[in-house]
Amino acid sequence: MTPKAHFAEKLRLAGLRPTRQRVAIAALLLDGRHRHVTADSLTEEITTAGLHVSGGTVYNTLNQFTEAGLLRRVMVHNDYSLFDTNTDHHHHFYEAENDQLVDIPHDGVILAQLPAAPDGHEIKAVDVVIHIQSKNP
């Protein structure tokens, strides 16, 4: 199976029509490497790859991939959106000084006790962000 066909199939399974743009972005983001991207950094990657995708489509695609569970949105500040290509259950260190996000392995944080969700609700996800700063002395 060609790589292109592989990603097209992946998109179909996710309920997304495999357009040229979505396949190209999937090839960049869904190749198994674990990293964090922004609309901006992704656009750079696309350009570097000698391709062009309009800004609106980059945003749409990131949102659609996230909704489809192919990406995960990480909340650390309100400046712009961050997406994690690792959708496995894991948490993050965040260093505000350098706007640096680092994955914490799955077993690095253990939640011994979760509160019950409010009546009529269920837990969808648990996000843990550990804010860190460089030590002074």
Partner DNA sequence: AAGGCTCTTTAGAATGATTTTAAACTAGAT
Partner DNA sequence: ATCTAGTTTAAAATCATTCTAAAGAGCCTT
* Sites of contact with its own copies (CB under 8 A): 75-78, 80-81, 93, 95, 102, 104-105, 108-115, 117-118, 120-135
Instruction: Classify 93 as helix, strand or coil.
Output: strand
Choosing among DNA, its own copies, none, which partner's interface includes residue 105 (Cβ < 5 to 8 Å by kind)? its own copies
Whichever of 24 and 62 has its CB closer to its own copies, that residue is 62
CA 124 distance to own-chain centroid:
17
Whichever of 32 and 56 has its CB closer to its own copies, that residue is 56
Cα-Cα-Cα-Cα torsion 63, 69, 70, 71, nearest 10 degrees, comes to 60
Query: How far is the C-alpha of 24 from the C-alpha of 105, rounded, in Å?
Result: 29
Whichever of 1 and 110 has its CB closer to its own copies, that residue is 110
